[in-house]
Amino acid sequence: MKKHRSFPSLDHFRLTAALFVIAIHTSPLGSCNEAADFWFTRVLARIAVPYFLMVSGYFLAKGGWQKEKMKRFLLKTSLLYLVSVFLYFPLNIYAGLPTFGETLKRLFFDGTFYHLWYFPAVLTGCVISYGLSRMGLRFALPVAAVLYLIGLGGDSYFGIVAVFPPVQAIYKLIFSLFQYTRNGIFFAPLFLLLGAAALKWNFEKRISFAGFLFSLCIMSIEGFILRHMGVQRHDSMYLFLPICMMFLFSFLLSRNNGENKTARSISMLVYLLHPWMIVFVRAGAKIIGMENLLIQNQMVHFLAVSILSFSVSGFLAGLRCCRKPDPAARAWREIDLKALQHNVRILKEQIGPDCGLMAVLKADAYGHGAVITARSLQKQGIVKAFAVACLAEAIQLRRAGIRGTILVLGYTLPSECYLLSKWRITQTVVDEAYAVQLSDAAQGKKIPVHLAIDTGMNRLGVPSTDLNALHRIFKLPNLEIQGMFSHLCVSDSLLPEDVAFTLEQVNRFYTSVLKLQADGLETGKIHFQASYGVINLPAQPCDFARVGIALYGVYSHNSPVQRKLDIWPVLSLRTRVVLVKHLQPGETAGYGRAFCARRTTKLAVLSFGYADGLPRDFAGMNGMVLLHGKRAPVVGKLCMDQMLVDVTDIDDVKGGDVATILGRDGAALIRAEDLAEQCGMITNEFLCCLGARLPYRNL
């Protein structure tokens, strides 16, 4: 079988583009031939910045234009731009500071130094592209193309279009706002959207390469004609430049395999730092008396600046390139987001159109990753409300950009109620005394709350029969009561006495709510069904169903249920084989010599231990793992970080192989319900006890 070698052509070409940017600002062929230098720096090298824009558009659109991804990109780019502004502030002081109005104009449109125009351009261009993309590429690309044509008239074609007085007046107005039309309004959106459109291209390599060469030739002719006519106000935009970039990007994309983050870092640093390197080369040449060679000879000047720029950038990239460990290097959780979204649809069908899903994300979403889960649900658009156990979990979601209702089901210190207001978080009122404390601590600010009603679980909540206490809570000045809920304690059981108790709880809850409503009180959103309330009860006239374990595609245990839902497991647990040991009969292995070989035995050492969530005596619980689609028994005592598995009857097991602790491997399957039962737990408990060091991989 032919092994495909990683060749990240998109990242590698960034380095070429960075070299072209240096060429634009050093004119390497200027000492040799003016026409050749024009073609190299004012035609060929003009592909550099459009390429950077197209790569950004490609990766932003990959997987869909996600608002949170866009926010992170804009924030990161803005911070980089801010650093760049301070980095070049000394040179701006040396050149003479502009007026305050001119400074603002440069900061937001033209860049505070000659190469920094890219940052406001990409920031503005991304906002425009994102807005246009909401209406589809068939609409967005023509609009961006029209903007580009307007920009073209203010750039290479200015002398042609400016002969018409009305057009000249329009461009005069434009240039009173921006120094160039090569900016985030007229230039960047088209290339960002072309990068996004590249996800749908399917050109052959030969056609892409031939198309690039042909369009580059036409663009070269276009450039020389415009130069001969003397109509260029600037020379960043050509009519054939977008066509040229389409073919070039398509060719590189057809050869792209993998990524090279170091190349990304170096190209970014070269772009950012090369003007300072020009200053250093010129200053150094004057100090050592080699101006004729290092400055006057423009090719040598270009090479010196390039070598220095790439050397410094490579060094800095090496300092900042602390590579994160591969999440699949040892042991990990695989999160199937398609299964998660499937489960949401199934559960929504079950609860009915008038009831919303409140996704319960307690304990890091039952070990599935709260932020990962919430972002996927938010993107799907069905779930608009979330529940967590504590304030810290709620703030984590808000920091991750999660919108909608976030309800804290547990206790929050009244003294921290200001954080509830700051992060727009809804708090559970656990009893009347707590309600009073919360209202007093709010100091005039309204705190959104849901009232917990105790209908028989005798945990949190105001007793459902204590209507006087509920009335007093409604009168508290600083509580904004937005909902009421209860919790069913035996809804997972079909034993007759438990079914009767559940129905009694339901009746108590509705009775309390209806009495309060009859008294003219606004009870807000009501909810009492958790996962088993949805599974074992008919659809209820509630505003929410708080779904936890079922959302993740599993049941709490193997007990019978009223109806089996077509939910899919979201989580799988994988680990790796570290090495294989060969034991002779009578040899022992592991702590306490707990395993003794009764035959010639092959033992695989797996990098998964009790610190990752399995009991130390997992072997004594008939623990199994899956390897090469077959079941392999766990033997001996689990270590903190490793476990031993008997693979005598499985061929070709070797170091680096993937073993499955939970999930599917080929036709074989280990269910979460079965694994939890083996460990003497319910599924919820087992999933919440998974080790925090297990990273997440999204499928």
Number of domains comprising the chain: 4
Examine the pLDDT at 318 and tell me if it is beyond 90: no
In this prediction, residue 40 carries a pLDDT of 96
pLDDT digits 0-9 by tens, 433-482 = 999 999 999 988 899 999 999 999 999 999 999 999 999 999 999 999 99
pLDDT digits 0-9 by tens, 69-99 = 888 899 999 999 999 999 999 988 887 878 8
Check whether residue 24 and residue 58 sit in a common domain. Answer: no
The reply to whether 164 falls in a domain is yes
Q: Which two structure tokens, joined as six digits, stand for 238?
A: 């050509």
In this prediction, residue 2 carries a pLDDT of 38
CATH number at residue 508: 3.20.20.10
Average pLDDT over residues 534-563: 94
The reply to whether 445 falls in a domain is yes
Check whether residue 459 and residue 343 sit in a common domain. Answer: yes
Domain that holds residue 411: 331-552
> Distance between terminal CA atoms of the chain?
26
Check whether residue 217 and residue 188 sit in a common domain. Answer: yes
Check whether residue 31 and residue 67 sit in a common domain. Answer: no
Among 259, 279, 308, which residue terminates a domain? 259
Q: How many CA atoms lie within 13 A of 462 on its CB side?
A: 25
The three-state DSSP-derived secondary structure of 157-182 is CHHHHCCCHHHHHHHHHHHHHCCCCC
Check whether residue 408 and residue 487 sit in a common domain. Answer: yes
Q: Which two structure tokens, joined as six digits, stand for 652?
A: 């070709």
Bridge partner list, 606: 577, 643
Check whether residue 254 and residue 270 sit in a common domain. Answer: no
The number of helix segments (H) and strand segments (E) in the chain equals 27, 20
In this prediction, residue 260 carries a pLDDT of 86
Q: Environment class of residue 186 by beta-carbon count within 10 Å: exposed (0-12), middle (13-18) or buried (19+)?
A: buried
Distant-in-sequence, close-in-space partners of 662: CB < 8 Å, separation ≥ 6:
571, 572, 573, 670, 672, 675
Cα–Cα distances in Å, from 39 out to 23, 140, 295, 516? Answer: 11, 32, 21, 80
Number of C-beta neighbours around residue 438 at 10 A: 24
pTM for this structure? 0.60
d(CA 231, CA 226): 6
> Are 14 and 52 within 8 A, CB to CB?
yes
d(CA 124, CA 107): 12
Check whether residue 74 and residue 179 sit in a common domain. Answer: yes
Place of tokens 């690309």: 141
Cα–Cα distances in Å, from 591 out to 192, 613, 638? Answer: 59, 18, 8
CA 656 to chain centre: 28
Q: Which two structure tokens, joined as six digits, stand for 78?
A: 């803005």
> Are 548 and 519 within 8 A, CB to CB?
no
DSSP state of 97: -
Examine the pLDDT at 6 and tell me if it is beyond 70: no
Number of C-beta neighbours around residue 407 at 10 A: 25
The reply to whether 610 falls in a domain is yes
pLDDT digits 0-9 by tens, 24-72 = 999 999 888 999 999 999 999 999 999 999 999 998 987 677 777 888 8
d(CA 632, CA 655): 16
In this prediction, residue 325 carries a pLDDT of 67
Of the two residues 97 and 637, the one the predictor is more confident about is 637
CATH number at residue 589: 2.40.37.10
Check whether residue 496 and residue 366 sit in a common domain. Answer: yes
The reply to whether 188 falls in a domain is yes
d(CA 133, CA 627): 45
d(CA 12, CA 266): 10
The reply to whether 689 falls in a domain is no
Task: Calculate ∠ Cα 308-282-295, nearest 5°.
Answer: 95
Q: Which two structure tokens, joined as six digits, stand for 464?
A: 């459902």
Check whether residue 95 and residue 210 sit in a common domain. Answer: yes
Q: What is the CA radius of gyration of the chain?
A: 32
The three-class DSSP label of residue 471 is helix
Q: Which two structure tokens, joined as six digits, stand for 694?
A: 């297990």
d(CA 307, CA 284): 14
Examine the pLDDT at 201 and tell me if it is beyond 90: no
d(CA 592, CA 160): 89
Check whether residue 474 and residue 508 sit in a common domain. Answer: yes
Among 301, 323, 345, which residue terminates a domain? 323
Check whether residue 596 and residue 638 sit in a common domain. Answer: yes
In this prediction, residue 324 carries a pLDDT of 67
Among 259, 288, 312, which residue terminates a domain? 259
The reply to whether 225 falls in a domain is yes
The reply to whether 235 falls in a domain is yes
* Residues designated catalytic: 362, 591
d(CA 621, CA 615): 9
pLDDT digits 0-9 by tens, 118-149 = 999 999 999 999 999 888 889 999 999 999 99
The reply to whether 190 falls in a domain is yes
Check whether residue 31 and residue 82 sit in a common domain. Answer: no
The three-class DSSP label of residue 606 is strand
The three-state DSSP-derived secondary structure of 321-381 is CCCCCCCCCCEEEEECHHHHHHHHHHHHHHHCCCCEEEEECHHHHHHCCHHHHHHHHHHHC
In this prediction, residue 258 carries a pLDDT of 76
d(CA 366, CA 569): 12
